[in-house]
Amino acid sequence: MHAAVPGRWSYRRDRDRPDVEYGVWEGTVAPDVAVHFHPQNQLTVVLSGGRTFQAGHRVFTVSAGQCLHIPAGLPHKSLPVAHPGTRCLNIYLDLQGLGGEPMVVAVPDIAADAQAALSALPRIVGHLLRSAGRAGGRSQATGMGVALLSGREPLGAIAARNRLSREGFSRQFTRKTGIPPSGYRLVSRLNEARLRLRGDISIADLAADLGFSDQSHFGRHFRRVFGISPDAYRKGMR
């Protein structure tokens, strides 16, 4: 496990499970990133201190020894609330059976060391599954996002199919998800970039492929959403 640089996110892939990505952070106030979502489930395990999140229209404070589950596709953000001495571990992975709503569970006897906490992942998932009662389904906000991304239809066409004006659909989508349709699609492109940064494509070519005006434009959006530059993120994935 790599050491965290205070105040900065640092990301890696688990060598034993390449499909599992994790990030570590330590400091007092987490970066004030934009509302975003991930295609995988996010588990935030607080090792010391605390974190505060907004997920949908709810605010969650996560204390040491607790884990917050944020379902795949659910818009959320970390709030810039001071929690001195915070150390936390974010784990991104595909999970079934956790339901579509965020939840906080206690993880008894979790180690304050990120590597030990990552090793305890099966136990953490077990606590989440028991708390969720193996509920399925997804939240209304997540379902709306999936519908928006399916087929990449123009917003006007999606709105018309739902018997709404473009403006009415946008207002309803933003109210239910916390992010406008254009923002949701932008984050989807950035999530695709996050995956492709594991490969050898140049960052400039990746930016062009995903429709950004240039590498600088892409980098600003990536850092605003994920709290790290594309180059630093790529280095962590290798």
- Give the residue extent of every domain in the chain: 10-132, 140-237
Pick the closest to residue 194 from 224, 234, 221, 152 (CA basis). 234
Amino acid identity, residue 230? P
The pLDDT of residue 67: 93
What region, left, alpha or beta, does residue 178 occupy, with left being phi > 0 and alpha being psi -120 to 50 degrees? left
The domain at 10-132 falls in which architecture?
Answer: Sandwich (2.60)
* 37 token code pair: 């979502």
The pLDDT of residue 109: 78
Amino acid identity, residue 96? Q
CATH (residue range 140-237): 1.10.10.60
Domains 10-132 and 140-237 equal at CATH topology level:
no
Q: In the chain, how many H helices and how many E strands?
A: 9, 9
CA distance 144 to 174: 10
The H or E element spanning position 18 is none
- pTM tops 0.85: yes
Q: Is the dihedral of CA 237, 206, 95, 27 positive or negative?
A: positive
Per-residue pLDDT of the chain (238 residues; tens, 9 = 90+): 555 677 888 899 877 788 889 999 999 998 889 999 999 999 999 999 999 999 878 999 999 999 999 999 899 999 999 999 999 999 999 988 777 789 999 987 787 777 778 888 888 888 888 877 644 455 555 555 655 655 567 888 888 888 889 898 889 888 888 889 889 989 999 999 999 999 999 999 999 999 999 999 999 999 999 999 999 999 988 7
Tokens 């050898």, residue located:
200
Q: Are 26 and 6 in contact (CB under 8 A)?
A: yes
